[in-house]
Structure 1
Amino acid sequence: MNEFISEFTLGDADGPTIAIKDSIDIAGHATTAASRALADAEPAAQHAEVVQRLIDTGWQIVGKTNMHELAFGMTGINDYTGTPENPQDETRIPGGSSSGSAAAVGLSLSTAALGTDTGGSVRGPAACCGVIGMKPTFGRISRRGVAPARSTLDCVGPFAREMQTLIDVMAAITPDFDEALANSSAANVRIGIVPVEADRAISEAVAGAPGLAGFASRNVDLLNLRAAFDAGLTVINAETWAAFGHLIETGKLGADLDARLRHASTMTKADLAVAESVRASFTAEVDNALQSVDVLVLPTLPALPITLEAARNGTPVIAMSSLIRPFNLSGHPALSLPLPIAGSPLFAGLQIIGFKGDDERVCAIAACFEAALGQ
């Protein structure tokens, strides 16, 4: 099955099952990032820290999941390792880069999965595939044993079908995670709805969600959202080029990755300086917005995922990350929850943004939304 690159069992045979993205080390298995250019990589000598923590807390690891090559793409299409099936609609893209992790959870091939989120790569596939996905606060979860080794954006994050499962994974991989707080009832919550450009049905569903959950809400503008998106692109391009640019010389990269990396090589020190200035201003803007509300909400994706055919025919997908990438730049915790929308059997995504370090509160509020939305 192409949802998994390989299947095996580690850890507690009776424990809940979890699958691991192929950019995260598992001892004895090569970390190839679903790339032909890394197919001959040596097996990892030891588990990534998050993998070891899962094993130590009783989880059963059932395999490594497929992904967009080198974690550098939004569609999840991979002509080398195969393209995972979107559980909501097999004709649509599963989203990237953690495509296999989202699909595995959506297809009930595992109880949960781990992915990585550098520019929306957990939340995007979660919204595409109709599951829950979380990008924790930047730096809160260990990235030891995760590729690329250095990043100012990337976070390891979990996928699940239910909030309780996601909380269980967060408790396993985060040493200081307060599980009781994450499971506490969320009362007197103030929601800030961020107005954005998105399909009307999705925007209306986001606007209506706080009322269904019994939360007070008001609009909160983020004026630097677009600038943060652009700056996030600059940073991910520069950092991905630094990590993987040398692989162009192998001649083994997919055509889309080769082109994307060549473009990434054009980032300059001046470009990065501008991006870092935007990072500071946007982070301050989000921090300030959260002074008057408990969390911000907005769509995860501005539209439903496009079809595989449209993606293969060149329909641009960069706008998929317009509402998720900014929060990689700022480092705030961000969670995508399946969101019913009028007139469609497919779920969109409700994105919930919280204070840095307040991942537990984000989970508690998401659980209230989950109950109210009847998922």
Structure 2
Amino acid sequence: MMLTVARALADRSSVGEALSRRRPAREGGAYALIFDDRRGGGRFAGVPIAVKDLIDVAGHRTGCGSRVREDALPAARDATVVARLREAGARLVGKTALVEFAFGATGVNEYEGTPRNPHDRSRIPGGSSSGSAVAVAEGSAAAALGTDTGGSVRIPAALCGVVGVKPSYGLVPVDGVFPLAPSLDHVGVLAPDVASAQVTLGVLATLGERGRAPRVAGVDRRALEESMPEVARAIEAALKRWGLELRDVTLPDLAATVATSTTLMYYEAAAVHRVTLASRRDLYGNAVRERLERGLAISEADYRAAQERGRSMYDHIERLFAEVDVIAGPTVGFVAPTLVEAEAPDMSTRLVRHTRLWNVVRFPAISLPVPVSGLPVGIQLAARTDGDAFAAATSLEAALSG
């Protein structure tokens, strides 16, 4: 059973039961490091929160899921998001496993261990915030911090059947978070339900005005047409139960969006790792090393051109939000692949196909599970403001549970 923030606050015995579920990633569990850190009271007093091991927690090494960081010193201070959780009284219960340096979407990590999908342990959890999604789905944390540069909160949320929030760019501070691509990086939240995600994000940042209840949802039918039939059916059934006016919209070309995002991400990631890659190349995993070396080959002119394309995509989405309140579609167009299927060279590209746009244009996007009889399916809702995104997610969640 998943543990909501409300239940953790109301029933202290549920927290002890939750903590007993923690397992290390080397055993297929969610955690790179397990600990129990409680400091005083507050509105989140005793609520168990897991933290992606890309985010500094004072006194613990930030391992980033990489052999490169094995000799890193413990963090001297908390990242701002962790400090804010402590101030609210949260109980930090461990650092969660991830794809090496958050640079990948499958959740696979050969160095540290791959968390297994709680719904079928032969399948991947998605990434890069793999352990954070598993911690929430297995009920060992009431919420977890993740990072999202191209879908790394929303993809594992969809594959593991939890809520994943990528807020608007810049809403949540990223100091004390190891960067992947600074112009695309977001700190996000994974949680069992929308209310838990919203209250947790409210500890990390000021959410601003309450959003408007949505009336019109935009849908790009191409995303449904290219999805697995069971995913498309689940999304269409959820939209029907929601009861909003549906309006066809055309999003920027998905392949072009992924290509633009790849140029931005790889170029910036290569800049972050340039010095370390030169001196410790052999310590990087093969997949990440290859991506970084591809980034080193991208010219500044190509990077600037990708930035310009990103601005055009932003303008395109702004025009759509003048016509619709929310844009809905599949978070991922298929259910969680098996570990063997995840070895396909194009798997990460397929996983990020519907998520990367929202990092490029910087609008908030939330993935939440829809009713299915088999493996989890996530619907992605994007809106102009964080308040509007949460209003839409709350509305849909209520419609699906009613």
Assess same fold via TM > 0.5.
yes
Report the residue type matching 1:222 in the other structure. Answer: L
Shift of 1:224: 3.7
What is the alpha-carbon distance in structure 2 between the residues aligned to residue 363 and residue 369 of structure 1?
10
| Residue 171 (structure 1) aligns with | 202
| Residue 232 (structure 1) aligns with | 261
Shift of 1:69: 0.4
Report the residue type matching 2:179 in the other structure. Answer: P
What is the alpha-carbon distance in structure 2 between the residues aligned to residue 326 and residue 226 of structure 1?
10
| Residue 242 (structure 1) aligns with | 271
Q: Is the counterpart of residue 192 in structure 1 residue 215 in structure 2?
A: no
| Residue 121 (structure 1) aligns with | 152
The structure-2 alpha-carbon separation of the partners of 1:190 and 1:12, relative to structure 1 and needing over 3 Å to count, comes to farther
| Residue 98 (structure 1) aligns with | 129
Partner SS, residue 340 of structure 2: helix
Shift of 1:368: 1.7
Shift of 1:12: 4.3
Higher alpha-carbon deviation: 254-263 or 55-64: 254-263
* Cα-to-partner distance string for 1:144-202 (whole Å, 9 max, x where unaligned): 1111186000100000011111011011001x224x836xxx64521111222322332
Partner SS, residue 114 of structure 2: coil
Shift of 1:66: 0.5
User: Between Structure 1 and Structure 2, how many residues are aligned?
Assistant: 366
| Residue 91 (structure 2) aligns with | 60
Residue of 202, 213, 226 corresponding to 2:242:
213
The structure-2 alpha-carbon separation of the partners of 1:329 and 1:149, relative to structure 1 and needing over 3 Å to count, comes to closer
CA contact (8 A) 2:180 2:269 kept: no
The structure-2 alpha-carbon separation of the partners of 1:130 and 1:30, relative to structure 1 and needing over 3 Å to count, comes to same
| Residue 35 (structure 1) aligns with | 66
| Residue 20 (structure 2) aligns with | none
What is the alpha-carbon distance in structure 2 between the residues aligned to residue 32 and residue 316 of structure 1?
25
What is the alpha-carbon distance in structure 2 between the residues aligned to residue 187 and residue 155 of structure 1?
25
Q: Is the counterpart of residue 345 in structure 1 residue 374 in structure 2?
A: yes
Residue of 393, 399, 402 corresponding to 1:366:
393
% of aligned pairs identical?
37
CA contact (8 A) 2:166 2:365 kept: yes
What is the alpha-carbon distance in structure 2 between the residues aligned to residue 296 and residue 154 of structure 1?
21
What is the alpha-carbon distance in structure 2 between the residues aligned to residue 156 and residue 188 of structure 1?
25
Report the residue type matching 2:240 in the other structure. Answer: G
Partner SS, residue 317 of structure 1: helix
* Cα-to-partner distance string for 1:103-150 (whole Å, 9 max, x where unaligned): 111111111000000011000111111111010000111001111186
CA contact (8 A) 2:213 2:395 kept: no
Shift of 1:90: 1.0
What is the alpha-carbon distance in structure 2 between the residues aligned to residue 188 and residue 52 of structure 1?
34
The structure-2 alpha-carbon separation of the partners of 1:280 and 1:318, relative to structure 1 and needing over 3 Å to count, comes to same
Report the residue type matching 1:205 in the other structure. Answer: A
Higher alpha-carbon deviation: 15-24 or 143-152: 143-152
CA contact (8 A) 1:225 1:282 kept: no
| Residue 9 (structure 1) aligns with | 36
Report the residue type matching 2:336 in the other structure. Answer: P
What is the alpha-carbon distance in structure 2 between the residues aligned to residue 79 and residue 232 of structure 1?
25
Higher alpha-carbon deviation: 41-50 or 304-313: 304-313
What is the alpha-carbon distance in structure 1 between the residues aligned to residue 347 and residue 73 of structure 2?
35
Partner SS, residue 105 of structure 2: coil
What is the alpha-carbon distance in structure 1 between the residues aligned to residue 231 and residue 302 of structure 2?
33
Shift of 1:57: 1.3
Shift of 1:313: 5.9
What is the alpha-carbon distance in structure 2 between the residues aligned to residue 309 and residue 373 of structure 1?
33
| Residue 148 (structure 1) aligns with | 179
Q: CA RMSD for the aligned pairs? A: 1.8
Partner SS, residue 127 of structure 2: coil
Q: TM-score, normalization: structure 1? A: 0.93
What is the alpha-carbon distance in structure 2 between the residues aligned to residue 188 and residue 36 of structure 1?
46
CA contact (8 A) 2:213 2:391 kept: no
| Residue 73 (structure 1) aligns with | 104
CA contact (8 A) 2:267 2:298 kept: yes
Q: Which stretches in structure 2 are left out of the alignment for 5+ residues?
A: 1-23
What is the alpha-carbon distance in structure 2 between the residues aligned to residue 18 and residue 12 of structure 1?
13
What is the alpha-carbon distance in structure 1 between the residues aligned to residue 237 and residue 182 of structure 2?
36
CA contact (8 A) 1:193 1:207 kept: no
Shift of 1:283: 0.4
Task: Indicate the structure with greater helix content.
Answer: 2
| Residue 341 (structure 2) aligns with | 310
Q: TM-score, normalization: structure 2? A: 0.87
Report the residue type matching 1:164 in the other structure. Answer: A
What is the alpha-carbon distance in structure 1 between the residues aligned to residue 31 and residue 58 of structure 2?
17
Shift of 1:211: 2.6
What is the alpha-carbon distance in structure 1 between the residues aligned to residue 252 and residue 179 of structure 2?
31
Report the residue type matching 1:54 in the other structure. Answer: L
What is the alpha-carbon distance in structure 1 between the residues aligned to residue 276 and residue 106 of structure 2?
21
Shift of 1:310: 1.9
Kindly report which structure 2 residues correspond to 1:293-332, keeping only aligned pairs within 5 A, or say none: 293-312=324-343, 314=345, 316-332=347-363
Q: Which stretches in structure 1 are left out of the alignment for 5+ residues?
A: none
Residue of 138, 150, 167 corresponding to 1:107:
138
